[in-house]
Structure 1
Amino acid sequence: MTSAVILGLILLIPILLIPRFTGWPKLIQSPTKLLLWCQRPKQSTEIISLRIYPIKSCRGIEVQSTVLKQHGLDLDRRWMLVDASSNTFLTIRQIPDMTRIRTALSADGDELVVSIPKPESNESTQDQDQDRQFHTIRIPSHPSPPWLAANTNIGPVHIWDTDTDGYRYSDEINAPFSAFLGRDVVLVHKGPTPRVLKGNGAPHRLGRVQTTGFPDVHPVQIASESSLAELNARLGKVGIDPITVERFRPNIVVRGKAPWSEDSWKLVRITGRNAVGISGDSAGDSGAAIQSPLDLDVVARCARCQVPNVDPDTALKNKKQPWDTLVSYRRVDEGSKYKPCFGMLSAPRNEGAIEVGMKLEVLEETTGHRYVAGF
């Protein structure tokens, strides 16, 4: 077969396919839809849970929908507790009991409701004894600058190797936290000084300057249900009851196609149920508005400490599990040779509404993930 014939066949194939593809004219007319069609996913899965942890290391909230911002999910780790004298952040690593501090949102979402166990409380009593068991505080979930100016004082805070600032709450707010934890602590809300990403998210690696609040390293952690199921199967073989994904404190939980397939993710896209498909049919064709896709750079695997050994319900720490099992087969990152990995760390490129049931599509993969130290 001559090269001319081969070239002719190549040119003929699109012509033969176009009549069978009813969405083609619409794609030609819309550059955005054409780009979406060309950038076909390598994997596709579904978001099954969204989780926020308003106060770092305290109990989180599972939500059906929220807003993905470039610094993370709305309200996620916007507050943390610091030592009153050193201004250094505190976590479950030093104080497992922090997980017994509960957070919730008021019915209208305007207030963060924090329930702090009273030192003499016994949480085995019935729920109707909530008032006797917990000290409850309410603060604005999205405090305005005037409110912060009137009710807090800005001061330095230290998290890992970064000095930044925070709005320090009053003694009245701090007292029940200090009483429960047995030490003087201060609740702080992220201050105006940017906390620029480091390590895998540093500007020269990410290609942009991006900031976050009080997560350990990067704005959004993604975890896979299929990977957790595989881990639980291994734990069962050594006599350990299944653990929940809450142990790993992720933000976005996806169903997952195969265990640990997330290890290779590099760029993922979140789209609604009515996202543009290759047929060109979408909610947008009927006049309904479609939100632009949400893209996240997956910058690193999440190297784990022993926080997942802490039961979030009781604050009791298992001396071995799931750490020992994870270490036995999940030391998969050359940049963090002595820590197991679970979940992927990411940095959103844009912002928008996100909800359970949306699709997560993998647009780019890599074999080059290597954890870079530096918080």
Structure 2
Amino acid sequence: MSPDPAMTASSPEFAARIARLFVYPVKSCAGIELTEAVLTATGLDLDRAWMVVDEEGTFVSQRELPRMALVRTQLKGSEVVLRAPGMLSLHLAVDEVEGPARVRVWDDELDAYDMGAVASQWFSDFLGRRLRLVRFDPEQRRLSSLKWTGGVEAPNQFADAFPLLVASEASLAGLNERLARAGHAPVGMERFRPNIVLAGVEAHDEDRVDVLRIEADRPVAIRPVKPCARCPIPNIDPQSGEPSPEVLDTLQGYRSDPRVGGAVTFAMNAIVLEGEDAVLRVGQAVTGGWKFD
């Protein structure tokens, strides 16, 4: 019997380092850049642990409410603190909820916890719709697509579909070179909402690597499994909350990806194979072997 490719060591042809780490405690709100983060089975700790939903319990995002980009998050002790223009800060205790809820994220319906009237009013006032804030129920098991994971059961919280998103500095630099040639201003990595940003590789090498092995305090193995097809969110300026088309228009010229039906892609969705509870840090070495179809 041939060995499981998910568990075989990659030849160290791919060599990088972690340049940046991000978590997004509230789905579709601004992220937090960290120097270190704990890896869990569902991605980085507290990533997409909360989500904003409408009156029917369906998630909302920057796709229809671009002002969500202006909601800033901060980890402060045992709290997540949210701030937005013209609003008093909202403090969420990491380990407190107020009641049960039933929610929908894409095609998945699952139990969650409501965060109460104060959080509901805060988001409703800022975004101009009746909304509620919910917390992921850790008893729920929401799996990534087995088609893309090769049968590996990879759980998520409220992320769109996969536990992690991996990008590289070189991929962003390549996009910004093209934007500059077209007379547009450069954009930051925050538009693409990755969790792990790699340095020391060529543009879009993250597309071509099999298993990423990270030199953390215990063995870590992460597998990129699906190119990230981009929705309109990269067009939204995270400083103003205003959309404009140049980012996706530019990507359309060179990142139409046949692996996902010709959609525009940037960065790779990834799953955790090994390393739960490891501490990832900026500067850690990353190695891997190239993927051959």
Task: Identify the residue that residue 3 of structure 2 maps to in structure 1.
Answer: none
Deviations 1:75-129 (A, max 9, x none): 1100010002x110000000000011111011xx311111133xxxxxxxxxxxx
2:88 to 110, 113, 135: 135
User: Structure 1 segments of 4 or more deviating over 2 A?
Assistant: 199-202, 332-336, 365-368
Task: Identify the residue that residue 4 of structure 1 maps to in structure 2.
Answer: none
As a proportion of its length, which structure holds more strand?
2
Task: Identify the residue that residue 79 of structure 1 maps to in structure 2.
Answer: 50
Report if aligned partners of 1:227, 1:256 keep a CA contact under 8 Å in 2.
Answer: no
Partner of 2:89, secondary structure, is strand
User: Pairwise mapping of residues 37-116 of structure 1 onto structure 2 (< 5 A)?
Assistant: 39-84=10-55, 86-106=56-76, 109-116=77-84
User: What are structure 2's unaligned runs of at least 5 residues?
Assistant: 1-6
Partner of 2:241, secondary structure, is coil
Deviations 1:131-171 (A, max 9, x none): xx322111222x1xxx43xxx11121001111112100111
Report if aligned partners of 1:201, 1:347 keep a CA contact under 8 Å in 2.
Answer: no
Q: Which has the larger radius of gyration?
A: 1
1:335 offset after TM fit, Å? 2.5
Partner of 1:232, secondary structure, is helix
1:206 offset after TM fit, Å? 3.2
Alignment TM-score, normalising by the size of structure 1:
0.73
1:99 maps to a residue whose letter is A
Q: CA RMSD in A?
A: 1.7
User: Pairwise mapping of residues 296-335 of structure 1 onto structure 2 (< 5 A)?
Assistant: 296-318=222-244, 320-335=245-260
Matched residues, percent identical?
A: 34
Task: Identify the residue that residue 275 of structure 1 maps to in structure 2.
Answer: none
Task: Identify the residue that residue 179 of structure 2 maps to in structure 1.
Answer: 235
Partner of 1:269, secondary structure, is strand
Partner of 2:119, secondary structure, is helix
User: 1:197 aligned to 2:121?
Assistant: no
Partner of 2:58, secondary structure, is coil
1:345 to 253, 269, 274: 269
Task: Identify the residue that residue 184 of structure 1 maps to in structure 2.
Answer: 130
As a proportion of its length, which structure holds more helix?
1
Report if aligned partners of 2:10, 2:288 keep a CA contact under 8 Å in 1.
Answer: no
Partner of 1:354, secondary structure, is strand
User: 1:355 aligned to 2:290?
Assistant: no
Partner of 1:178, secondary structure, is helix
Which whole-Å CA distance do the structure 1 matches of 2:200 and 2:266 have between them?
13
Partner of 1:76, secondary structure, is coil
Report if aligned partners of 2:87, 2:126 keep a CA contact under 8 Å in 1.
Answer: no
Deviations 1:315-366 (A, max 9, x none): 0100x211111011111233331x2111011001231111100011113x32
Which whole-Å CA distance do the structure 2 matches of 1:314 and 1:300 have between them?
30
Report if aligned partners of 1:268, 1:297 keep a CA contact under 8 Å in 2.
Answer: yes
Partner of 1:362, secondary structure, is strand
Which whole-Å CA distance do the structure 2 matches of 1:304 and 1:39 have between them?
28
- How many aligned positions are there? 284
Report if aligned partners of 2:235, 2:248 keep a CA contact under 8 Å in 1.
Answer: yes
Which whole-Å CA distance do the structure 1 matches of 2:43 and 2:61 have between them?
19
Which whole-Å CA distance do the structure 1 matches of 2:83 and 2:259 have between them?
41
- Relative to structure 1, the CA distance from residue 190 to residue 308 in structure 2 (aligned partners, 3 Å threshold; closer, same or farther) is same
Alignment TM-score, normalising by the size of structure 2:
0.92
Partner of 2:223, secondary structure, is strand
